[in-house]
Structure 1
Amino acid sequence: MRILVLGGTAFVGRAIVADALREGFDVTLFGRGRTGAELFPGVPRLLGDRDTGDYAALREAGGGWDAVVDVSGYVPRHAGEAMAALGDRVGRYLFVSSQAVYARSGVGPGSDEDTPRRPPVRHTEVLDDDTYGPAKVACEDDVLARYGDRATIVRPGRVAGPHDVQGAFTYWVRRAARGGRVALPGRPEQPVQVVDSRDLARLVVRLLIDDRPGAFNAVGPAEPTTLAELIAVCAEVAGTRVELVPVPPDAVPPMFPLITPEAMWADRQRSSARARAAGLPATPLAVTAADVLAWDRERGEPPLDCGLSAAAEERLLGVAG
């Protein structure tokens, strides 16, 4: 199978390309060429820039592909320009969307892919909490309008695994590995859903092999998990002991890793039944945590852009008593 991956060298795209190559796919990459130059030697690369609308290399490339995997489409312009450049040279178009497309009210635990989505937003280049999900909705709609039954939508939840560039899961793995008293600006019973990047990649590749249309919630792990249970698993993997210490949410930076307001807890309890039936594996959370811990230590544990530094947490715990 010949596939084209739009963005295949950072985290999710990297995992998808690695899985596709193991499956024996003939892979071509399209991207800016700024990251992962050492990855996937021998894999053809078409250089372009979706931010500036530079698809010349894609338009000029000869032949076609059995499928395209769009990992880097965030606003409708991205999807529209890519589809225009590809024309009819692609069989299936698999768009990697997001759980952020779903409506935020009136949704209960166990909601599935038929849950109402948020109203689409088309004319924006700014992605924030108000526009990210609606822009993905617009992308989904455009892909479905163009390709119909040749369109596949994958909606990942929080993705975890080695090479994670965001660091939300990595923060808790690293923090649990230090052990001791842990500042928790949330409730221990909060539900958490994280999917291993390699499981997500396996689902994507399986959907391509089966030429399967439709929408799929790529969420995990297999069993319901709380925030306290996730931290406990991370500590067990690292061989440490932790004590969770409640701290006021307003005492920490906003958007704290994996912390979710209670009004949005149902968003962290989506059904993965359709994706499991289509081939989404269920890597144990302990395996994901162990692999992230090993990767993070191997790279030297660089500073993260989220959470609390050790010094800031120590000061906060001192106030908490």
Structure 2
Amino acid sequence: MPHAMIIGGTRFIGRHTVRELLDNEYDVTVFNRGNHENPFADDEAVAHVAGDRTNENAVERAAREVDPDIVIDCVAYHPSEVRHATAVFADCEAYVAISSGSAYGDEEIPKREDTTTLHDCTDEQATDDSMDSYGPRKAEIDRAVAAAADEGVNAMSVRPPVVYGPHDYTERFDYWINRVLNHDRVIVPGDGDCLWHLVFAPDVASGLRTVAEAGEPGETYNVGDRRLPVLAEWVELIADTLDTDVEIVTANERELAAAELAPGDFPLYRSYPHVLSTAKIAELGWEATPIETALERTVENHQASDRTGRENGPDREAEERVLSVLDTL
């Protein structure tokens, strides 16, 4: 059986990637610091090597101990980490890093891997940890992957947009599930038609495996849901999944200002559509999970968890003030 090493692997995308690889007959080793609960602690099929991926010596030690066939890098946040990893794992059959749709610098619809311009990345941004530099850092990671491929390494990257699904510790999508579960009226900012391409976490995992097995060296592949609902439609789909009714109340900037809110205070709001073309990865045989199936699994996991997502958006008291204003119009 081929042996896969996951850098990361216990929280969200990494957790789904471990399961994807196990389901496709890989031996799996997880390499991380062990700071979070390991869902595979009792699974004899998953080995664990402790170490900090920001420590070059630890990465090199793990490479010697594991000697993997493929490496999936779920926690590549700085270009220097990827430059080092592609050198350490140069002889592996494949190295795949998770990039991001945020790497794109131009706003166009859709964003395509080989034509849409990426962010530039300064030396200062390359070592920064803030969200302001996240897109530039991911863009530079993609360039590092391409440079490694030029040196003969089978290195590739995968660009997801916002990821949702079971075990999502960001809780951005959980905010909307929580609203539908607990309120008959749900405020959606603007006209409810903002479009932010999302992707189901297990589909990112299957995309990573697909690229590792069939991708071309130096290439980057977008991965995202096949269907692209606008925000109001997502709320409706959640309600359908829960077999409940909900009234969607749209509120513009002036109406939200009655409670000192703005559209950007709501999770998954974006003023300009963010859409990724997924034709390139589809050519490798990858397919997205139908949204209805993805939502069933996501909602079921939300209900079994203690996640609410409330801290990602306005509190209900502020929303009630907006609703009161709207009811008088």
Report the residue type matching 1:4 in the other structure: M
Alpha-carbon deviation of 1:239? 1.7
2:269 maps to 259
Q: Report 1:193-272 matches (<5 A).
A: 193-210=197-214, 212-213=216-217, 214-220=219-225, 222-247=226-251, 248=253, 251-252=260-261, 254-261=264-271, 264-265=272-273, 268-272=274-278
The CA deviation string for residues 227-273 of structure 1, in whole angstroms up to 9 with x for no partner, is: 12111111111122222223335533745211001xx21xx222111
Amino acid at match of 1:14: R
Which residues of 2 match residues 59-208 of structure 1 at below 5 A?
59=61, 61-62=64-65, 64-84=67-87, 86-105=88-107, 107=108, 109-114=109-114, 115-124=116-125, 125-148=127-150, 150-208=154-212
Unaligned runs of 5+ in 1: none
DSSP 3-state at the match of 1:93: strand
Matched residue SS, 2:312: coil
Seen in structure 2, the aligned counterparts of structure 1 residues 30 and 185 have a Cα distance that, compared at 3 Å, is same
C-alpha contact 2:166 2:297 (8 A) present in aligned 1: yes
Shift of 1:98: 0.1
Residue in 1 that maps onto 2:7: 6
Q: 1:305 to 1:238 in 2, by over 3 A?
A: same
Q: Which amino acid aligns with 1:186?
A: G
Contact 2:184 2:246 in 1 (8 A): yes
Query: Is this contact kept in 2: 1:121–1:138, CA < 8 A?
Result: no
Residue 281 of structure 1: aligned partner? 287
Counterparts of 2:59 and 2:231, CA distance in 1: 45
Moved over 6 A (4+): none
Tell me the equivalent position of 2:297: 291
* Whole-angstrom distance in 1 between the partners of 2:280 and 2:11: 26
Q: Give secondary structure in 1 for the equivalent of 2:190.
A: coil
The correspondence for 1:318, drawn from 321, 324, 328, is: 324
- How many angstroms does 1:170 deviate by? 1.7
Change (3 A) 1:179 1:280: farther
1:35-74 pair list within 5 angstroms:
35-39=36-40, 41-42=43-44, 43-51=46-54, 53=55, 55-56=57-58, 58-59=60-61, 61-62=64-65, 64-74=67-77
CA 1:38–1:236: 2 relative to 1, 3 Å? closer
Report if the CA contact (8 A) 1:218-1:280 is conserved.
no
Structure 2 residues not aligned, in runs of 5+: none
Q: Percent identity?
A: 28
The one-letter code matched in structure 2 to 1:218 is V
Counting matched residue pairs gives 312
